Structure 1
């Protein structure tokens, strides 16, 4: 074992020091902060006479009777094998000898080291293994997989979805998690790095390391990998380093560049498991009260488990302890702060509750909900006046605090405005070079109800989009970016200026921006009918081929306009069906220019950091980092392929060689089997000749070499020809059925089918596609 591997193991062992000391420190930290109201209440308490309260019982004392394995309390329903009782599935093995830690049993021969048990939280923390490896053997030249995961089926435990994270480490990996529980689940994340120098320790943001959520109620799982380089046709990483994926306690894991080099598959990490009783809800189990009902104490109550499986127990209000044993819930004294409980004089504890009484010589019952004591002593009058003065001083201090805070907020907004290029944009607007409007942060906060989660329209790779209603009643879409490069502010303002001048019916209109926030906010016109991706893949009613072809024509025309007809050529760089919006009339609107780049007049390309969406990303751009307008052509080819086959670009459930739809599409086309996977309704609506032409056009857009692809203007011309062919096909079908000829929609440009007969889209017989 290398020294690097040994140091990685030592670091893992140091991180596994869990126990009650860490949780006590976190609770003390939370108790260390005090709100102004709590501070005033404390002063009131100190001003009162001594209270004749009962014996206050600390809930932690109730755990002293629980058996211990080393320093780990083992409360029922857990129990130590051979020395106590426990519910089935909650068995702890403990030898209490040096070097043999407490072990949680999963069946007869499967045990894992136990770190701690939370009775109130309903979870345990173990040293578990849910991990898979994918290594490239430099000697044999083969991929070596390894996978191991705890199967929790038949146990009272599930993987915690709130305290764990699915994590992948590697420079060439798409890690997938396929799990079973109440619902089948497939998810994952992508980890990639072009060079090791681009990886940053402590940052798990898809560069060398990525993380995804664990599904709720997960009992068993399968982990697997796919090579991104293989999927995009690039050269495989042969450095010998392994990619790995695992489920881990999110508060424990801190990514380090050393993790990329640690290839030993014996790297154990802490995992949090939630536990529950049975598989029924509280309502079901309380209806028939079975003999093994767990909430046995008379002061206990049942509540449903947060993972959707079974139930747990808690002590009722005013009690604390172990609700799973008879007499385990003990009364706790609530006479902590009589003023906070409207108690005027003294607080007297009683079983599960408390009473407040009045001093001698006064009237009134003095109870929590009563009228209080009517006669007040002189000392109390003085204390009341002093308290009133203190409250006045406190109010003056609060007013002064808010005044200072408002001034700081104004200064901060001014700082962000200047930092984000506000003066430059104002200069452009005043000279009428920009049609954008500058919105204030208050205006956009009011429009979105302070960016309320209920106003979210969608999340993207570059930010979140909110639905907003301006003061004049206009509905807009407000994009809140994740970050902005301060060195590119001038270019950002220039893009805002250019995009505000873009005037095309199939491009979402940029209305303006707000520069008073840390990252600029962009305001677009609101498109109400969702995305093309939703209508193609998520709608129960399939979209007709007529609408799909029209949307393809409109999208191609918009991209051709951006490439050649706008003030400066614009490369979108993230063309995909999710970025094509549809209005009420199903008119296409190209949106989301967060990754777009302007091309100077004297240049044909740009060298940039690779950005885009897996499945739509141009392989040539991925390999060379050289961005041209042909990169948009490739992405549009994928969209056209989606419209033709109604399948997603990446299908994790298929074999690895068929997951990338572009590769599968080309293979089907070459083997003349494409019509076998196109649905019959599309074939009937379009006709084999038109589908063949559309497939050949998509194939040309998907050429691996950019110079072999057509321009977007050429694509638009050929798609218009397909539209005229569709009109003639529809007319023939109607004449066959004796119906009158109707024009479904209007194409740009004139010409007949014969005029386009020599076009590349009609160059081969439709029999090439097979039947």
Structure 2
């Protein structure tokens, strides 16, 4: 009875404080907080410039007729975009977006939207949106400022028509529709498409594309004929770019719209356990379970007697101090129990039970993986500060951190949204891999709402950045390219042949090849990888990979084999030889796809026209030809004709030894690549080939 009385007193007191704090966060009596049914929180506002943080955040409340009923709808005045909702806590605004229609020859006419946010503090959120395209046998490109920044391909059966098929956002893997993640800092976009080579025309040349909120896309299930007349939501992230604007202390530097400087603006956040509007002083309110709904009721019904309630509350608190202390103690006990339950729930939700099952079977080697607490990782990453972000992708966000022992690490916060398959997959695979050219898994944390993995920190970024944004002070020499290619080939061969079970990486590309402090290669990102039993030769699965690196045979048959990784590695090898990107809309039509362009150049005996100038200057011609021939074999359309990664690694190792100077050759012989001795006999049989084949015409097959 006494405890119940004390709890009621605390509850009433906290509700009163909540009421006073709510009264303090109003900007001005003149500022309207609603437009129709949409709440307009600061920094957005209407009517008076004092109500919003600059012209970009001004909301215009317009009257719009819906079903002959006038309705008030908010619009971003500077960009004329219709607003669906605003979330100040996440610094996002949800807008209504239109669908692009391409090559449509039907009765209805839909204008293509002209969408750009150049110069504004808004960008399309990479985490919250998807690029989606629908059509038959088409590659659809996402362009920004006339540069291709994304693409996906969709296929149909012959004489098929997408107008008679329903599309579901939960299953869009390349048939009738495809999807791709967005790049960072996307402030404008356009869409183009082209027909897949060798594909017949379908009954409909019509295709559609859009940027759509990921949560909305997962719920979409509609016929395409209806889709053309619908509008979908997309999410914009924002930051405050006006440095003169005064903001609360909980606001920090950010780089939402640009990575060119140390930061491009500021964003505000509420600390853990608080909700509200972080852009207003006192706008973040602590959340205590069971109080919010009661407070709302108290605020609505008793706002007129606030000061009378204050006197009653203070008198009750003074008279019941002992009961309050006991209640405080009880509250701490309850909170500990709640926290423990929450950790158990998160552990189960993040696949903890599945991991325990695999631990019991010996599938996961726990000796290598340390379990870290959320407190340790928050301290290591400065509470996951945006300034610690190393990169973002489809699986989640990676932060740089330092553990208490001084070790520098990379912490990946997965974006699972109920699906823990990729997280568990990467955890299981990396826990049993021990290879110097594969990124090491150091630890994990399953107690949080979002699972976390901790890796060794790789300081020099990825191969794609280093190759295509070359630093003149440390250029990528021919010898470095050969060494990196050899290291990656050795790592993939290890995955295919030396691991306890064969592992197919499934997404080999230059962005997944990291470079350590000595610019040695580290293969990373195993979320899409697959383990297969020793007796299996292939695995039938939904097609997954990156356009430009994806094995055409796997794309058409859905049968994943070790030769799919060989094809993708062949594209990386061509990147190293040519210094060009796998896909680029800035090149000519025949050269858009680098692998296709390389194969044509080899067969037309003009491969040196596309070899990087630095490579031709520094490398021996016969060695360059040997690597080009190896890449050509890797890109065979028939997977059975491609070499194994064992053969690829051995050949590259042999060429590297021939290319290296005597002073450095001894070093590589001393370190040796693991497993090379097993297939030196194969390499020896090919030594004479390079010496005898000094011209390109002697080494290129006459047909493919």
Q: Deviations over 1:9-44 (max 9, x none)?
A: xxxxxxxxxxxxxxxxxxxxxxxxxxx999526548
8 Å CA contact retained: 2:414, 2:452? yes
- CA contact 2:165–2:223 (8 Å) conserved in 1: no
Which residue in the other structure is 2:204 paired with?
240
Q: Supply the RMSD in Å over aligned alpha carbons.
A: 6.2
- Tell me if the contact between 1:513 and 1:521 (Cα under 8 Å) persists in the aligned partners: yes
1:617 maps onto 2:585 in alignment: no
Q: 1:634: Cα distance to partner?
A: 0.8
Choose from 359, 371, 391 the match for 1:440. 371
- Once the two structures are superposed, the pairs formed by residues 176-195 of structure 1 within 5 Å of their partners are 176-179=141-144, 187-188=149-150, 190=152, 192=154
Contact 1:641–1:695 under 8 Å retained in 2:
yes
Question: In structure 1, what is the Cα distance between the partners aligned to 2:95 and 2:314?
Answer: 58
- For the pair 1:746 / 2:668, whether they are aligned, the reply is yes
The structure-2 alpha-carbon separation of the partners of 1:408 and 1:271, relative to structure 1 and needing over 3 Å to count, comes to closer
Q: Indicate the residue corresponding to 2:294 in structure 1.
A: none
Deviation at 1:127, TM superposition (A): 8.2
Q: Work out whether 1:224 is the aligned partner of 2:157.
A: no
C-alpha displacement of 1:710: 1.0
Corresponding pairs, count: 596
Q: Which runs of 5+ in 1 are unaligned?
A: 1-35, 49-56, 69-73, 79-89, 106-110, 139-143, 285-305, 310-316, 319-335, 347-376, 732-740
Larger Rg: 1
- SS of residue matched to 2:636: coil
Q: Deviations over 1:131-170 (max 9, x none)?
A: 53235879xxxxx99862347899x999875799675341
TM-score by length of 1: 0.59
Cα distance in 1 between the residues matched to 2:429 and 2:466: 30
Distance 1:485 1:256, change over 3 A: closer
**Are the structure 2 counterparts of residues 244 and 39 from structure 1 closer, same or farther at C-alpha, using a change threshold of 3 Å?**
farther
Aligned to 1:602: 535
8 Å CA contact 2:621–2:694 kept in 1: the answer is no
Which residue pairs with 1:711 in the alignment?
644
Matched, 1:134 2:102: yes
Shift of 1:677: 2.9
SS of match in other structure, 1:699:
helix
Pick closer, same or farther for the CA change 1:516–1:556 going to 2, 3 Å: same
1:40 equivalent to 2:13? Answer yes
Aligned to 2:462, which of 531, 541, 548? 531
From 689, 692, 696, give the equivalent of 1:766. 696
Indicate the residue corresponding to 2:566 in structure 1: 633
Shift of 1:703: 0.3
Displacement, 1:635?
1.2
Structure 2 CA distance for aligned equivalents of residues 479 and 569 of structure 1: 25
Q: Distance in 2 between matches of 1:405 and 1:436?
A: 30
Contact 1:189-1:212 within 8 A present in 2 as well = no
Q: What does 1:149-298 correspond to in 2, within 5 Å?
A: 149-150=113-114, 161=124, 167-170=131-134, 175-179=140-144, 187-188=149-150, 190=152, 192=154, 201=168, 203=170, 208=177, 210=179, 218=187, 222-226=190-194, 230=196, 235=199, 238=202, 240=204, 242-246=206-210, 256-262=220-226, 264=228
Alpha-carbon distance in 2 for matches of 1:489, 1:124: 29
Change (3 A) 1:237 1:261: farther
Deviation at 1:574, TM superposition (A): 2.0
Supply the distance in 1 between the matched residues of 2:370 and 2:568 (Cα, whole angstroms): 33
Q: Give deviations 1:340-376, integer Å, cap 9, x for gaps.
A: 9xxx999xxxxxxxxxxxxxxxxxxxxxxxxxxxxxx
SS of 1:406's equivalent? helix
Q: Which runs of 5+ in 2 are unaligned?
A: 1-8, 21-25, 37-44, 50-59, 246-255, 259-263, 265-279, 282-298
Q: Distance in 1 between matches of 2:17 and 2:243?
A: 42
1:582 aligned residue (515, 519, 526): 515
Go from structure 1 to structure 2 and tell me whether the alpha carbon gap of 1:145 and 1:573 turns closer, same or farther (over 3 Å shift).
farther
What is the CA–CA distance in structure 1 between the aligned matches of 2:112 and 2:149, rounded to whole Å?
18
Q: Identify the match of residue 644 of structure 1 among 577, 584, 593.
A: 577
Aligned residue for 1:245, secondary structure, equals: strand
Q: Distance in 1 between matches of 2:634 and 2:411?
A: 33
Match of residue 627, structure 2, among 670, 674, 694: 694
Instruction: Tell whether the 8 Å contact from 2:445 to 2:453 is kept in structure 1 after alignment.
Output: yes
CA distance in 1, matches of 2:450, 2:320: 45
Q: Secondary structure at the match of 2:542?
A: coil
Answer whether contact 1:135 1:240 (CA < 8 A) is retained. no
Q: Which structure has more RCO (C-alpha within 8 Å, separation ≥ 6)?
A: 2
Is it true that 1:571 corresponds to 2:501 in the alignment?
Answer: no
What is aligned with 1:540?
471
* Per-residue Cα deviation, 1:233-281 (whole angstroms, up to 9, x for no partner): 57468363743124679998885332534475x6567899999xxxx97
The answer to which of 255-264 and 401-410 deviates more is 255-264
Alpha-carbon separation, structure 2, partners of 1:521 and 1:607: 29
Distance in 2 separating the partners of 1:234 and 1:437:
49
TM-aligned CA deviation for residue 466 of structure 1 = 4.3
Q: Which residue of 1 aligns with 2:655?
A: 722
Distance 2:377 2:347 in 1: 21
Tell me the secondary structure at the aligned position of residue 379 of structure 2.
coil
Q: What secondary structure sits across from 2:100 in the alignment?
A: strand
Alpha-carbon distance in 2 for matches of 1:717, 1:403: 58
Shift of 1:492: 8.1
Q: CA, structure 1 residues 602+307, in 2 after alignment: closer, same or farther (shift >3 Å)?
A: closer
What SS does the aligned partner of 2:506 have?
Answer: coil
For residues 389-415 of structure 1, give each alpha carbon's deviation from its aligned partner in whole angstroms, at most 9, with x where no partner exists.
785476345324303313413543674
Counterpart contact for 2:125–2:237, Cα < 8 Å: no
Q: Distance in 2 between matches of 1:584 and 1:153?
A: 38
Aligned to 1:406: 339
Change (3 A) 1:178 1:557: closer
- Change in 2 beyond 3 A, CA 1:382/1:283: closer
Whether 2:437 is the aligned partner of 1:506: answer yes
Distance 2:48 2:27 in 1: 21
Per-residue CA deviation, residues 181-222 of structure 1 (Å, 9 max, x unaligned), is xxx87644647588999987465977746476698795x753
1:422 alignment counterpart: 356
Pick closer, same or farther for the CA change 1:755–1:684 going to 2, 3 Å.
Answer: farther
In 2, Cα distance between equivalents of 1:556 and 1:702: 15
Q: Are the aligned partners of 1:136 and 1:241 in contact in 2 as well (CA < 8 Å)?
A: yes
Q: Indicate how the Cα distance of structure 1 residues 592 and 394 shifts in structure 2: closer, same or farther if over 3 A, else same.
A: same
Q: Which residue of 2 aligns with 1:453?
A: 384
Shift of 1:715: 1.5
Give the CA deviation at 1:726.
2.0
